[in-house]
Structure 1
């Protein structure tokens, strides 16, 4: 982190010609279990990871907003008076969308100064580790501080979600921003996406001699494109045909009736959400009662459901999960929105290196590009650094 903080400060000074007033950061996240349940008002169990987006910020004496980063050549400039979703494009829609969304949540954007922001990150993009929410959460926390808005972190999570939905155009739920803002070291965030009530759950991986291995397939995905939106539309259709406001209201006992009411594809989409919600509850209970070594079967079942019922996996993800389970992982599943990205594997510490070699070999044998595999730890949420 020291190196990247120094790089952010230097990048800010080089771009804008003066020193920033402060640095803020926010982590990416891994979803341990609970995929696509968030926008269905269900349950999720993500945790913040030790990969972060860091920004340096300076306040201006005028109303100009300027955004730059280490990963884009352009310097984006926009006057606060012109801040609207119609004027936000490309990567800058994430940070500038947050400024717009703060106004939608009640901030008086006519009474605040402009800013300069420089951003850097070591959260992999397109891997399903929520690099977008890391940007949104860092910007939301920074602007909440320097504009003295007084919003709490749950409100800032809603701000980030609104920015992603309306400024970026990705129909995501609130899980990613909640994990990035509410995360705690060595813990997961058990989030009820209907009430937004959250509880910190001890993971206990290190004490149990376990690591969580990320297998980034290198197959990039985007929530703003069709597959994610199609799945969300299927869930909304299923809820409508079942006469409920969201699939949160559907239980496993309701699935026989759902099979009669719904077409085959919509039924399978609904079945994934209903069973995944139950798997989240079962995982939380198992962590409390038996510890992390007992959750492997739930991770495996989650992947099968996403592969077969929700149909959001790809061959690279299936190979990663299959190879992991055959080479010592207690459980494995794809994580994130699907159609690419990463898988996770819960692995005994002494088996990590062997598993990494096996995955590299399997991908090479199938003619896939070499994946990036690395261990992550549950880390703190967004902060001023």
Structure 2
């Protein structure tokens, strides 16, 4: 395991202060917004199924400043908390090759296509300052997406209304799906833009977002644990993309908005896959793989619903038992050794920060043991405490 020589610390100045100082003084109208990191409690892989995802905001934030320019260029400058720096200048009309540039270039173009930004947009200066570390399972890139989108939309009359925030979250997720090679967890955009200081319950069957009390009400502190920070986790990217494409195709075949609406979904999906393979469809997945994924999504949705109920009824033992219970087989990479280590060292519960899209672990530690736990873990690992944050806001 990697040695963490110094604890993770954020700069003394807030990202909003830093982004105001760093943004070019072009004389244009500068708009600033900030958005929180996010952490996942359960259900990170069930959105395409129509399941339920539980996620919360983090006190660590990203801030974005934007202003117009007249030379048909998009200039982006970004800095993270670990000394990472990113800078690019590109033509407004040419798709960039760099992955991060393409992600945010695509976000600008999607905002224009959805008529949140004017079609007369000629160019932009975009500056990002973030305190959310990449690799901790805390949605660093999503926080930056949300901050950029909200800064660009800051002049909209409905910018603080729930329907507009829901629309903006959908635009962010659509843009990243279209322009980034990284897997998108849509709940992170939703929670960053619409969440609160508790746990948001995002139900993809009807698109609702409601609130539940945070686990901290059960006498625990929450930590992110990782062997290293600074890089996104991509090991299971292909597998997740294939499973989501299969779910989407199944929904289309059965004429349902989500497989959660389909009675006896796993059996009927397997029959459909077997029929495709019998007809010579070489693109159809193995029937057993399809069955496992549908059953995984069904099981995770039930776990998420049960966890939301446990949070709302303040049943701590039930909540932590649910978090510790093994998931259905899913064939995705998970940090099982780190989960086990956290539990051995005193966490009442620990689980992957986001199965398949993060190699970090979220650990829940009794308050009286938390300082000792964090200090012991920091000798070998990167440790970031997860404290409640506030949703994205336009900074006046």
| TM-score (normalizing by structure 2) | 0.80
User: In the TM superposition, what is the alpha-carbon distance from 1:333 to its structure 2 partner?
Assistant: 0.8
Which of 273, 292, 307 pairs up with 2:297?
A: 273
| Matched residue, 1:136 | 145
**Residue deviations 1:60-80 (CA, integer Å, cap 9, x gap):** 35543221122334332323x
Distance 1:212 1:238, change over 3 A: farther
| Matched residue, 1:24 | 33
Q: Do structure 1's residue 341 and structure 2's residue 359 form an aligned pair?
A: yes
Which of 323, 329, 333 pairs up with 1:309?
A: 329
CA RMSD of aligned residues (A): 3.1
Structure 1: runs of 5 or more not aligned: 362-369
Structure 2: runs of 5 or more not aligned: 1-11, 275-285
User: In the TM superposition, what is the alpha-carbon distance from 1:216 to its structure 2 partner?
Assistant: 2.0
Q: Count how many residue pairs are aligned between Structure 1 and Structure 2.
A: 362
Which of 166, 170, 179 pairs up with 2:178?
A: 166
User: In the TM superposition, what is the alpha-carbon distance from 1:157 to its structure 2 partner?
Assistant: 0.4
Q: Do structure 1's residue 298 and structure 2's residue 322 form an aligned pair?
A: yes
Aligned residues of 1:183 and 1:189 also touching (Cα < 8 A): yes
User: In the TM superposition, what is the alpha-carbon distance from 1:158 to its structure 2 partner?
Assistant: 0.7
Between 209-218 and 158-167, the greater mean CA deviation after superposition: 209-218
Aligned residues of 1:323 and 1:359 also touching (Cα < 8 A): no
Which of 85, 106, 125 pairs up with 1:97?
A: 106
| Matched residue, 1:75 | 88
Between 102-111 and 160-169, the greater mean CA deviation after superposition: 102-111
Which of 309, 313, 320 pairs up with 1:285?
A: 309
Aligned residues of 1:47 and 1:183 also touching (Cα < 8 A): yes
User: In the TM superposition, what is the alpha-carbon distance from 1:258 to its structure 2 partner?
Assistant: 6.8
Q: Distance in 2 between matches of 1:184 and 1:258?
A: 37
Distance 1:341 1:322, change over 3 A: same
Q: Do structure 1's residue 193 and structure 2's residue 217 form an aligned pair?
A: no
Q: Distance in 2 between matches of 1:197 and 1:120?
A: 31
| Matched residue, 1:364 | none
Pairs within 5 Å for 1:319-334: 319-334=337-352
Q: Which has a greater percent of helix? A: 1
Which of 14, 20, 27 pairs up with 1:9?
A: 20
**Residue deviations 1:141-192 (CA, integer Å, cap 9, x gap):** 111114768671000001101110112144525211101101212x111111
Which of 52, 57, 60 pairs up with 1:51?
A: 60
Q: Distance in 1 between matches of 2:348 and 2:227?
A: 20
Q: Distance in 2 between matches of 1:243 and 1:17?
A: 52
Q: Do structure 1's residue 154 and structure 2's residue 174 form an aligned pair?
A: no
Distance 1:352 1:235, change over 3 A: farther
Q: Distance in 2 between matches of 1:141 and 1:73?
A: 20
